């Protein structure tokens, strides 16, 4: 009997703050790029990261309940 082993890659889960940091880095990269597709892609990626960060914050379990 042949057992296949799956190669498990380590998955890194980023916090919303880390996602915001990455978005800021992409946005600063975009300012250094000339007008064009590469700049638009960098700005789009920054916007997507910011949206993902805000969604993570909104969906995160609340640690303290309001009374």
Q: How many other CB atoms sit within 10 Å of the CB of residue 65? A: 5
At 24, list the tokens. 């800021």
Q: Using one digit for the tens of pLDDT, what is the confidence trace for 4-50?
A: 666 767 667 889 999 999 999 999 999 999 999 999 999 999 999 99
Name the one residue in this structure whose structure tokens are 């805000």.
Answer: 54
Q: What is the pTM of this model?
A: 0.71
Residue 43 to residue 36: CA distance in whole angstroms: 11
Name the one residue in this structure whose structure tokens are 């009997």.
Answer: 1
How does DSSP assign 2-33, residue by residue? PPPPPPPPPPPPPPHHHHHHHHHHHHHHHHHS
């Amino acid at each position: 009997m042949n057992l296949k082993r799956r190669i498990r890659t380590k998955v890194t889960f980023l916090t919303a703050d880390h996602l915001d940091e990455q978005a800021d880095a992409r946005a600063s990269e975009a300012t250094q790029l000339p007008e064009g597709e590469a700049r638009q892609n960098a700005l789009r990626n920054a916007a997507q990261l910011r949206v993902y960060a805000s969604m993570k914050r909104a969906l995160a379990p609340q640690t303290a309940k309001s009374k």
